């Protein structure tokens, strides 16, 4: 097995820096008494933080695949957290950000190509699929705990981190749905019959888009989905009021 590189991409560190810059802006808004600065800070926190979580999601897939036998992920640079290593930047990064801003849905972004045949067992294939959503869940819980442990942090910062945490919970639930093309299906696929697997392959390219259409345009479905994720967020200890304030700042343009 080739050695596991420990080099973190400067691009990932830059994304972290941009997220922290958003925190600084949001914190500075309080003494300055500037609503515009607070909105800008929250906007940067959520968008840059979401891209950071995309990297961590894909790293979860890649590091699990590496441990499970697919050493090609190291040579492809997937273990460096470099956003540029993921597939098509438009579909993997730009489109998810646009949908996030328009519909509030944190779609899966960048993708890593895993050599399924190199994995040692069906259990590893399932583990690789689950590792991505698990990373989102872990990030969400860490953010929730951070907000809870520092009740004196500036309110715009807490609102931005809470909104980002809620997006992580939504992404976890969304990715775990047993829909071809999503990680929930990938976790089940190794144990399905061959006809079911072939069906999944056929519908994989458009099934997530169909799900997106249902969530965005079928009356009541979106409300039910978000209500369920908000319950899970609250059960995890998240502050729904802070998250709501973060959402209001993120989608400020809707009230213009």
Give the distance from CA 108 to its chain's centroid. 6
Q: How far is residue 190's CA from residue 182's CA, in Å, rounded to a whole number?
A: 14
Provide the token pair at 30. 């309080």
What pLDDT is attached to residue 91? 59
Distance (Å, rounded) from C-alpha 76 to C-alpha 104?
31
State residue 3's pLDDT score: 55
* Catalytic machinery residues: 58
Q: What angle do CA 61, 62, 66 make, to 5 degrees?
A: 120
Contact 182, 209 (CB under 8 A): no
C-alpha 183/C-alpha 187 separation (Å) is 6
Closest among 43, 60, 170, 38 to 104, alpha carbons compared: 170
Distance between CA atoms of residues 164 and 168, nearest Å: 6
Q: What's the chain's length in residues?
A: 256
What are the residues whose beta carbons fall under 8 Å from the beta carbon of 61, sequence distance 6 or more?
78, 112, 114, 128, 129, 131, 132
Q: What are the tens digits of pLDDT across the range 115-145?
A: 999 999 999 999 999 999 999 999 999 999 9
Q: What is the pLDDT of residue 92?
A: 64
Residue 206: alpha-carbon gap to chain centroid: 20
Cα Rg of the chain, angstroms: 19
Pair 62, 32: CB distance under 8 Å: no
Element (H, E) at 100: helix 95-103
pLDDT for the residue numbered 88: 60
Yes or no: say if 64 and 131 are a contact pair by the CB < 8 Å rule: yes
Report d(CA 224, CA 208) in Å as an integer.
18
Q: Which two tokens stand for residue 240?
A: 């729904």
* 109, HSE (Cβ side, Cα atoms, 13 Å): 32
Residues in the chain, pLDDT under 70: 1-6, 87-93, 108-110, 256
Angle of CA points 116, 186, 66, to nearest 5° = 40
């Amino acid at each position: 097995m080739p050695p596991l590189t420990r080099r973190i991409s400067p691009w990932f560190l830059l994304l972290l820096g941009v997220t922290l810059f958003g925190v600084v802006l949001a914190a500075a808004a309080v003494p300055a008494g500037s609503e515009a600065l607070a909105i800008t800070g929250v906007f940067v926190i959520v968008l840059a933080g979401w891209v950071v979580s995309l990297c961590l999601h894909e790293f979860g897939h890649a590091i699990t695949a590496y441990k499970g036998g697919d050493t090609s992920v190291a040579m492809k640079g997937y273990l460096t957290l470099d956003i540029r290593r993921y597939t098509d930047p438009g579909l993997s990064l730009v489109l998810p950000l646009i949908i996030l801003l328009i519909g509030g849905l944190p779609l899966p972004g960048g993708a890593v190509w895993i050599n399924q045949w190199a994995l040692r067992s069906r259990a590893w294939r399932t583990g690789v699929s689950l590792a991505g959503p698990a990373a989102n869940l872990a990030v969400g819980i860490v953010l929730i705990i951070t907000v809870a442990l520092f009740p004196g942090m500036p309110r715009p910062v807490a609102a931005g981190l809470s909104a980002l945490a809620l997006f992580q919970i939504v992404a976890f639930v969304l990715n775990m749905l047993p829909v071809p093309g999503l990680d929930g299906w990938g976790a089940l696929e190794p144990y399905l019959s061959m006809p079911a697997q072939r069906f999944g392959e056929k519908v994989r390219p458009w099934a997530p888009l169909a799900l997106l259409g249902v969530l965005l345009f079928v009356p009541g479905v979106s409300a039910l989905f978000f209500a369920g994720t908000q319950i899970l967020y609250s059960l995890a200890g998240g502050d729904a009021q802070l998250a709501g304030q973060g959402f209001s700042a993120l989608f400020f343009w809707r009230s213009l």
